[in-house]
Structure 1
Amino acid sequence: MDAMTDKTTLAAAPADTPRPTREQAEEAVRTLIRWAGDDPRREGLIETPKRVVKAYEEWFRGYHEDPVQILGKRFEDVQGYDDMVMLTHIDVESHCEHHIAPILGTACVAYLPDRAVVGISKIAKVVEAFSKRLQTQETMTAQIADAINDAMAPRGVAVFVDAKHQCMTTRGVHHPHVSTITTTFTGEFKANAELRERFMRLCEQPRR
């Protein structure tokens, strides 16, 4: 297993820890329902454990997605194009690793190709692969940049994430209008302030 795979895909449970069965997962949900003060045998809650486990399969599918494979196919016939390739307003739907509360926002990602590019949908899929896990926003932002940097060896990568954390908006300090912004820059983006500023200006353009 190469260093990049080890760094970006092995966030799941250790190999020597057996994954619980679906039945065990559903029973855990029943336990939480009882702990919250309700009766999992109540009509409206009977199917809830199954629904929650099914939702977890969707919310955390990123543990089973490999950014190396996502970015594996590249195209070198770009007619000499060497400016940034950028995707803006990529939807981010994640969950914080401290409270398993939703993190909802958007990401902007850019890279400066060195001979090769990838299909633009692959960049969005890399964002999804890391967001569909238990995360901190800081870690997710760095992971996205590292995956693109390691898989493609571009001249630079820039990542901007703007998100609201429901562990902060619906509990704790209850500040529903606070947004968290994180950035990561590598290569020419890190070295060139004008290039970073151009990237940030493009990130700030309204969604069309």
Structure 2
Amino acid sequence: MRVDQQKIEQAVRMILEAVGENPDREGLIGTPARVARMYEELFQGMDEDPRKHFDVVFSEEHEELVLVKDIPFFSLCEHHLVPFYGHAHVAYIPRSGRVTGLSKLARAVETVARRPQLQERITSTIAESIMEKLDPYGVMVVVDAEHMCMTMRGIKKPGAKTVTTAVRGRMAEESDIRFEVLKLIKMQ
């Protein structure tokens, strides 16, 4: 899907008029086009399948925990179209020597976040994609984020963080593994 920039430009112009602004004044003349280009960039993940990042696997006899933590991301809340941003922490235990490139975990986070989203959906989609494509013993995804819809409007509580988890396989069944992942995430 290609973003319809012309439609976005028209909509932004209408929004500016609706809030009492003059879209033809000097500072706003290029704003509709800039917003359209921005949305095209922000929504790059719309037609991308995060599972594709796990098509390439490597044979490595490693069946211990793999964790990539502090993966920065940003997304737009699908309820208000304002940003939320934070970090994803992705852990899995490879099975049968099937490991993926570490950057692929970050790429999957990026793909899932680049669409109108809910934090809960980001968390579970990443976990499900890894389970489906890599068939690991277990997966744990932890996402912590600040939501501008809670900071800028409504309750107005800057700094409040939302934490979501998705735990699958052995990590769901064995609390000691979950504890180890959480401990490693907290390490500096």
- Look up the match of 2:67: 86
Is residue 203 from structure 1 mapped to residue 185 from structure 2 by the alignment?
yes
2:158 to 168, 172, 176: 176
Matched to 2:94, the amino acid is P
1:102 to 83, 99, 115: 83
Deviations 1:4-43 (A, max 9, x none): xxxxxxxx8xxxxxx7732222111100111121011111
Measured in 1, the distance between the counterparts of 2:95 and 2:102 equals 16
Instruction: Name the stretch that deviates more: 63-72 or 193-202.
Output: 63-72
Deviations 1:109-145 (A, max 9, x none): 0111012111110000000111111111111110110
Kept after mapping to 1: 8 A contact 2:45/2:113 = yes
* 1:132–1:20 distance in 2 versus 1, CA, 3 Å: closer
- Look up the match of 2:10: 27
Normalised to the residue count of structure 2, the TM-score between the two structures is 0.96
Measured in 1, the distance between the counterparts of 2:95 and 2:3 equals 44
Normalised to the residue count of structure 1, the TM-score between the two structures is 0.87
Pairing 1:3-18 to 2, within 5 Å after superposition: none
Identity of aligned residues (%): 40
Measured in 2, the distance between the counterparts of 1:22 and 1:70 equals 28
Secondary structure of the equivalent of 1:163?
Answer: strand
Give the Å deviation of 1:64: 2.7
List gaps (5 residues or longer) in structure 1: 1-11, 13-18
Measured in 2, the distance between the counterparts of 1:93 and 1:21 equals 22
List gaps (5 residues or longer) in structure 2: none
Question: CA-atom RMSD, angstroms?
Answer: 1.3
Task: Report runs of 4+ in structure 1 exceeding 6 Å deviation.
Answer: none
- Look up the match of 1:117: 99
Measured in 2, the distance between the counterparts of 1:205 and 1:57 equals 36
Kept after mapping to 1: 8 A contact 2:139/2:171 = yes
Measured in 1, the distance between the counterparts of 2:19 and 2:133 equals 45
Measured in 2, the distance between the counterparts of 1:163 and 1:118 equals 26
Pairing 1:130-145 to 2, within 5 Å after superposition: 130-145=112-127
- Look up the match of 2:25: 42
Instruction: Name the stretch that deviates more: 62-71 or 84-93.
Output: 62-71
Matched to 1:98, the amino acid is H
Instruction: Name the stretch that deviates more: 57-66 or 109-118.
Output: 57-66
Kept after mapping to 1: 8 A contact 2:53/2:104 = yes
Matched to 1:112, the amino acid is I
Is residue 154 from structure 1 mapped to residue 142 from structure 2 by the alignment?
no
